[in-house]
Amino acid sequence: MTIENQANILTARVESILYYAKPFLTNEHRAGWIGGNAPEFFDDQAEHIHEGNQKYAFYLSLNHPFKPECMISIFIPEDRDIYLENNIYPHCSIKVIEHPVSAESTQGSFTHKDLIKHSISHGERSKDEISMEQPFLIKVGGNPRLIQNEDYYFAKLKKDSLSFFFQVDEDGYPDTLIREDGSYPFGFGSLYIFAKIEKEIRHPAAGFCQFS
């Protein structure tokens, strides 16, 4: 995708790219996966992911929409209270890491106990106004679909010149994604990722999470 097309999706806000979770039926990850094991890139990096006594669980990995050589992986604290209390940038406790494309690990050291592995479909372009009216797992570009539209979520992000990159929305979870005795990590809410968006997209970071 050209820089001009990136600018159209991420700056003009008239279009977005939508992704969906699909039952994992083959070894093909498509555009990534949610649940399951972390990428093997992290096999020897546990000490860099965990912080002291705080353990993290793997949430999802998405092929970077504009950098084919990269992926974006998200880790969330195993202790849900940590990110309930620290849910807004720059103190959001969700880890967002850009890294080289990597296969899924055979090790389950980061596996989230409540999530059943699903693949993430290839992205589909959508008019932004249409995307606001339908469920999706991930929405790249366009405008964020918010649960609470309050200025304080954006204050520090704007100060640091970070712009909306994508969101992960639990409204788009299929019924097969959460284990029978499990719970939604964000309480049927949404996670919002921001980044420096100029000639290229740099430094993706968790902007905030909102809960229903």
Domain parsing of the chain, residue ranges = 3-210
pLDDT digits (tens, 9 = 90+) for 11-20: 778 999 999 9
Distance CA 107, CA 105 (A): 5
Would the CA dihedral through 98, 71, 204, 2 be positive or negative?
positive
Burial (Cβ within 10 Å: 0-12, 13-18, ≥19) of residue 113: exposed
Residue 23 in this model has a pLDDT that exceeds 60: yes
Average pLDDT, the chain: 93
- Confidence class for position 24, pLDDT limits 50, 70, 90: confident
* pTM of the full structure: 0.94
pLDDT digits (tens, 9 = 90+) for 184-200: 999 999 999 999 998 88
Quote the pLDDT of residue 86. Answer: 96
pLDDT digits (tens, 9 = 90+) for 90-149: 999 999 999 999 999 999 999 999 999 999 999 999 999 999 999 999 999 999 999 999
Contacts of 170 (CB under 8 A, 6+ apart): 184, 185, 186, 187, 188, 189, 190
Are the CB atoms for 79 and 57 separated by under 8 Å?
Answer: no
If you ran DSSP here, which 8-state letter would residue 48 be given?
Answer: H
The answer to whether domain 3-210 has CATH 2.40.160 is no
Contacts of 110 (CB under 8 A, 6+ apart): 37, 38, 42, 46, 49, 56, 57, 58, 75
